Chain A
Amino acid sequence: MDNDAPPAGRRRIFLKQVAAVVGAAPLAAHAAASASATDAAAARAGDARSSNGESLPNAWLFFNADEARTADAALARVIPADDNGPGAREAGVVVFLDRQLAGAWGQGDHFYRKGPFLPGTPQQGYQLAFTPAEMFRLGFAKLDENARKLSGAAFADLTDAQQDQLLGQAELGKLDFGPLPSNTFFASLVDATMEGFFSDPVHGGNRDKIGWKLVGFPGVHASYANDIERHGIEWSRAPASIADIT
């Protein structure tokens, strides 16, 4: 099997692939899943640009333009691009989140929403009335509002350090998000970012399997029956998406 590449070699190949992706324009949100750098490169030009220079799709299913900028900026700090490779922004997680919030889950499927709504104990779990769509809409607006109060600029226009500071305060529940505890919002933001970074690229995130490549998850490889007893082997075969096999 393709497991002969040494770790150092794997990393070099990985960085090359990353460079190809980061330079390319992403897909529009309504287009088919972006599963490879080739797809991304074929996507249309003329996308909106955020102040940080990253490209955003020019059509959203759920977000308005301000929300999309804030969301993209926030999740880019949750999983930043750094010495260990690209992050959530480069993986197109904002496109993933837009689709999720427009879809069944975001709109409240698999969510019991009958009242009365009472605070409850920590043992009783999530008890807020917000659907995911409502929570993220309010949360991103409040994040922006806090940014303007603090620095007079939109969240997306703050420096990385300023963004991290605000998000860190949200993590501790120290920001005023009105009826939404800011730590609840932050935990949901981290969850959703991880989902978008690590789910199959057919859902719009994990572009070019950036998330899978970071940790070495091979995706939907067909069978390990012949490998599972080869203990500790170095598995270096390129990851496969559902869309690669169908």
Chain B
Amino acid sequence: MARVMPAVDVVLVGGGWTGSVIGKELAAAGQRVVVLERGQPRWTSPDFAAPGVRDELKYTRRHELHQNTAMETYTFRNRVDQVALPMRRWQFAYPGNHLGGAGVHWSGAYYRWDPVEFKLRSHYSKRYGAAIFTDDITAQDWPLTYDELEPYFDRFDRLVGASGLAGNLKGVIQPGGNPFEPWRSNPYPNPPMKVPHAPALFGEAAAKLGYHPYIQPTALSTRPYVNSEGLRMNSCVYCGFCSNFGCEQFAKASPQVCILPAALKLPTFELRTGAHVLRVDLDKDRKAARGVSYVDGAGMETFQPAEVVVLCTFAINNTRLLLLSSIGTPYDPSTGKGVVGRNYTHQTSSGVSLFFDESTNINPFMGAGAVAVTMDDFCSDNFDHGPLGFVGGGYIQIQVVSGAPINNRPTPPGTPAWGSAWKKAAQRYYNHSIPITITASNLPVRGGYLSLDPTYTDAFGESLLRITYDFSDNDIKLSKFLTEKGTQIGRAMRGVQLAVGGPRTKPYGVAAYQSSHINGGAAIGADPGTSVVNRFGQCWDVPNVFVTGAALFPQNSCYNPTGTIGALAYWTADAIKRDYLRTPGRVIA
């Protein structure tokens, strides 16, 4: 018999961005809230204190802040006629673990999705004809618009101390900003990042070719800043230990820096770490959740009764919890029926390796996770797709993430992997090479989905999540197009001797890192026949369960997810406060 905890109003599963935002909002509204975090409590001070945190081996190679595959991983296959096998160690993505989740080890690239992304199918169908979507593509519109979310984007901007130069203030294009930017009601709270050498060279070449380069917006504070929760952030120092690391500086936005200290002051807010949730428990007729079951740090199964359950785990792990809890009908790719697990996507990423003459010092160690000059000329529907025959787009940029040399030791193609020839090339090119990175949208396909694995289980004996996916031809065409554009820019850059583009090819695989943006399985939608949750993230089938984060994305944008996830979290919190709690147990109209 499981231990039973005192009942609460709201239980949130996961102590990352969405759990922290919604938990704090509901606790401030008087709800008794508990956040269950499976990992350990990790705080800026002392856990991420310098110099100890600046350890590439520990944080990047040994996955200090990543989900431990020994405990829980995913299985993968390209097609339904294959046997899915477990990802025995991380190669393709870095799901988060511990307090703050992936909101700690992220890079801080900070975007709002384009208005077109929210109306993808209808927008493209109207402009280019419905046939631009091949039959295998299951992309669908969101049931809400960018305009509806804008006030929530604005709120999240002020929570994370976003840095950037507005390109579009209330519809008026601003000099120096991104002319393709969706309209915003306010400027960024903080000025844009400083520009390192390689991004400057990229911007110069891109402008010369007629494009519109600009400084990538980030959630890395560029000056001392007091955020919307009254919490202090400091200026980024460009130390070059950002992606995969905790930030010692209180500069990179994270739940620990931006919201949890404020939430923990509320008597109605409790954070419980070391609590690994196994499932949502439903009542007999399966129309309402009673609470959640979790295993505590000592291994004891515990039941936490609650009136409302909010799933706030890493991305597609929410889809797994829905499946483990038998909430909603699982998707069946042979019939196209069912919804849970539908519309899995990742990212169509590619790059162009650049090799410079010896007088061009890149100094790759002077950087930050998201310090970049980028361009949106080929994002979203900012260019004519008619003659191209594909849907989607991507941004092209140079970002100086890290010079830490276990992972960053570029050599030109054809260089041996070892020996004196390798060593000579590694020395020659370390300070004279950097890639152009291309981050593109990714479309869901009929045969691509998430389900419970029939064979492999986690450390607690629960089925792992199984990913079945391969790229559509659409995304392969898109990657070829963008990589050619990127290569042209690379060749136009001062100091470049060699530019080698590597477009994404089939088959999709999990043996190389692509991005940590894995999405879908709990699509947001207006139709219960093709979505798991309504426009507020509320489960159609079990109305006192809400789902947050990238699991809701019906398809992936080229833009990084966290800005949109944060806006959605505030949107859901408002809906729960304003609508749901007035008539609990009902689907919000």
Interface residues of A (CB under 8 A from B): 77-80, 82-84, 87, 104-105, 108-114, 116, 118, 120-127, 164, 167, 171, 190, 193-195, 198-200, 202-203, 211-212, 214-225, 227-229, 231-235, 240, 242, 245-246
Q: Does B387 sit at the interface, judged by CB under 8 A?
A: no
Docked-complex contact A216 and B423, CB < 8 angstroms: no
Q: How far apart sit A98 and B76, CA to CA, in the bound complex (Å)?
A: 33
B-side contacts of A203, CB under 8 Å: 57
Q: How far apart sit A112 and B89, CA to CA, in the bound complex (Å)?
A: 7
Docked-complex contact B419 and A125, CB < 8 angstroms: no
Q: How far apart sit A234 and B360, CA to CA, in the bound complex (Å)?
A: 10
Docked-complex contact B69 and A111, CB < 8 angstroms: yes
Q: Which 10 A-B pairs have the closest CB atoms?
A: A123-B509, A215-B430, A223-B237, A224-B366, A231-B197, A199-B57, A125-B511, A220-B54, A245-B51, A198-B405
B-side contacts of A127, CB under 8 Å: 85, 88
30 contacts between A and B (CB under 8 A): A77-B418, A79-B418, A80-B419, A87-B423, A104-B62, A110-B63, A110-B89, A110-B90, A111-B89, A112-B86, A121-B82, A123-B507, A124-B509, A125-B92, A125-B509, A199-B61, A200-B55, A200-B56, A202-B55, A203-B57, A211-B405, A215-B430, A215-B431, A220-B54, A222-B239, A223-B238, A224-B367, A225-B194, A228-B366, A234-B361
Nearest-Cβ distance from residue A173 to partner chain B, whole angstroms:
14
Docked-complex contact B85 and A118, CB < 8 angstroms: yes
B-side contacts of A223, CB under 8 Å: 237-239
Q: How far apart sit A48 and B51, CA to CA, in the bound complex (Å)?
A: 34
Q: Does B23 sit at the interface, judged by CB under 8 A?
A: no
Q: Which residue of A lies closest to B77 (CB)?
A: A124
B-side contacts of A190, CB under 8 Å: 417-418
Nearest-Cβ distance from residue A125 to partner chain B, whole angstroms:
4
Flag B411-440 by CB within 8 Å of A: 1 or 0 each.
000000111101110110011000000000
Nearest-Cβ distance from residue A208 to partner chain B, whole angstroms:
15
B-side contacts of A215, CB under 8 Å: 405, 409, 426-427, 430-431
Docked-complex contact A198 and B409, CB < 8 angstroms: yes
Partner of B430, one of A171, A216, A225, A242: A216
Docked-complex contact B419 and A78, CB < 8 angstroms: yes
A-side contacts of B426, CB under 8 Å: 214-215
Q: How far apart sit A195 and B62, CA to CA, in the bound complex (Å)?
A: 11
Q: How far apart sit A184 and B425, CA to CA, in the bound complex (Å)?
A: 23
Q: A126-B88, A202-B55 are in contact. Are A195 and B406 (CB under 8 A)?
A: yes
Q: A110-B89, A112-B86 are in contact. Are A220 and B50 (CB under 8 A)?
A: yes
Docked-complex contact B73 and A80, CB < 8 angstroms: no
Q: How far apart sit A218 and B239, CA to CA, in the bound complex (Å)?
A: 11
Q: Does B404 sit at the interface, judged by CB under 8 A?
A: yes
Q: Assuming A123-B509, A195-B57, A215-B430, what are 13 further A-B pairs, CB within 8 angstroms?
A: A78-B419, A80-B420, A83-B420, A105-B62, A121-B509, A126-B91, A198-B404, A215-B431, A217-B365, A224-B238, A225-B238, A242-B51, A246-B52
Q: How far apart sit A171 and B417, CA to CA, in the bound complex (Å)?
A: 10
Q: How far apart sit A10 and B405, CA to CA, in the bound complex (Å)?
A: 19
Docked-complex contact B57 and A111, CB < 8 angstroms: no
Docked-complex contact B68 and A229, CB < 8 angstroms: no
Docked-complex contact B418 and A121, CB < 8 angstroms: no
Docked-complex contact B57 and A224, CB < 8 angstroms: no
Partner of A113, one of B66, B88, B409: B88
Docked-complex contact A194 and B406, CB < 8 angstroms: yes
A-side contacts of B228, CB under 8 Å: none
Q: How far apart sit A118 and B76, CA to CA, in the bound complex (Å)?
A: 13
Docked-complex contact B78 and A121, CB < 8 angstroms: yes
Interface of A is mostly: loop
Q: How far apart sit A219 and B509, CA to CA, in the bound complex (Å)?
A: 33
Nearest-Cβ distance from residue A156 to partner chain B, whole angstroms:
18
A-side contacts of B197, CB under 8 Å: 231-232
Docked-complex contact B83 and A122, CB < 8 angstroms: no
Q: Does B87 sit at the interface, judged by CB under 8 A?
A: yes
Docked-complex contact A233 and B510, CB < 8 angstroms: no
Docked-complex contact A112 and B409, CB < 8 angstroms: no
Q: Which residue of A lies closest to B457 (CB)?
A: A114
Q: Does B235 sit at the interface, judged by CB under 8 A?
A: yes
B-side contacts of A227, CB under 8 Å: 363, 366
Docked-complex contact B423 and A229, CB < 8 angstroms: no
Docked-complex contact B240 and A110, CB < 8 angstroms: no
Partner of A112, one of B77, B88, B360, B417: B88
Docked-complex contact B406 and A109, CB < 8 angstroms: no
A-side contacts of B321, CB under 8 Å: none
List which B358-400 residues lie within 8 A (CB) of chain A.
Answer: 359-361, 363, 365-367, 371
A-side contacts of B424, CB under 8 Å: 84
A-side contacts of B240, CB under 8 Å: 224
A-side contacts of B455, CB under 8 Å: 116
Docked-complex contact B50 and A245, CB < 8 angstroms: yes
Nearest-Cβ distance from residue A216 to partner chain B, whole angstroms:
5
Q: How far apart sit A87 and B120, CA to CA, in the bound complex (Å)?
A: 54
Docked-complex contact B85 and A110, CB < 8 angstroms: no
Nearest-Cβ distance from residue A107 to partner chain B, whole angstroms:
10
Q: Which residue of B lies closest to A104 (CB)?
A: B62
Q: How far apart sit A26 and B237, CA to CA, in the bound complex (Å)?
A: 35
Q: Does B456 sit at the interface, judged by CB under 8 A?
A: yes
B-side contacts of A202, CB under 8 Å: 55
A-side contacts of B92, CB under 8 Å: 125
Q: How far apart sit A105 and B62, CA to CA, in the bound complex (Å)?
A: 7
Q: A80-B419, A216-B431, A231-B200 are in contact. Are A124 and B510 (CB under 8 A)?
A: yes
Q: Which residue of B lies closest to A79 (CB)?
A: B423
Q: How far apart sit A148 and B85, CA to CA, in the bound complex (Å)?
A: 37
Q: Which residue of A lies closest to B363 (CB)?
A: A235
Q: Which of A111, A198, A234 has the most CB of B within 10 A?
A: A198
Nearest-Cβ distance from residue B348 to partner chain A, whole angstroms:
16
Docked-complex contact A125 and B91, CB < 8 angstroms: yes
Docked-complex contact A224 and B237, CB < 8 angstroms: yes
Q: Which residue of B lies closest to A119 (CB)?
A: B85
Docked-complex contact B50 and A124, CB < 8 angstroms: no
Docked-complex contact B405 and A114, CB < 8 angstroms: no
Nearest-Cβ distance from residue B86 to partner chain A, whole angstroms:
5
Docked-complex contact A229 and B194, CB < 8 angstroms: yes
Q: Does B225 sit at the interface, judged by CB under 8 A?
A: no
List which B26-85 residues lie within 8 A (CB) of chain A.
Answer: 50-52, 54-57, 61-63, 66, 68-70, 73, 76-78, 82-83, 85
Nearest-Cβ distance from residue A170 to partner chain B, whole angstroms:
11
Q: How far apart sit A194 and B407, CA to CA, in the bound complex (Å)?
A: 9
Docked-complex contact B418 and A214, CB < 8 angstroms: no
Docked-complex contact B87 and A112, CB < 8 angstroms: yes
A-side contacts of B361, CB under 8 Å: 232-235
Q: How far apart sit A233 and B89, CA to CA, in the bound complex (Å)?
A: 39
Q: How far apart sit A8 and B507, CA to CA, in the bound complex (Å)?
A: 47
B-side contacts of A211, CB under 8 Å: 405
Q: Does B403 sit at the interface, judged by CB under 8 A?
A: yes
B-side contacts of A123, CB under 8 Å: 76, 78, 507-511
Q: Does B231 sit at the interface, judged by CB under 8 A?
A: no
A-side contacts of B419, CB under 8 Å: 77-78, 80, 164
Nearest-Cβ distance from residue B70 to partner chain A, whole angstroms:
6
Nearest-Cβ distance from residue B372 to partner chain A, whole angstroms:
13
Q: How far apart sit A77 and B416, CA to CA, in the bound complex (Å)?
A: 13
Nearest-Cβ distance from residue A198 to partner chain B, whole angstroms:
4
B-side contacts of A120, CB under 8 Å: 85
Q: Does B339 sit at the interface, judged by CB under 8 A?
A: no
Nearest-Cβ distance from residue B94 to partner chain A, whole angstroms:
11
Q: A112-B73, A123-B508 are in contact. Are A212 and B238 (CB under 8 A)?
A: no
Docked-complex contact B194 and A84, CB < 8 angstroms: no
Q: How far apart sit A174 and B376, CA to CA, in the bound complex (Å)?
A: 47
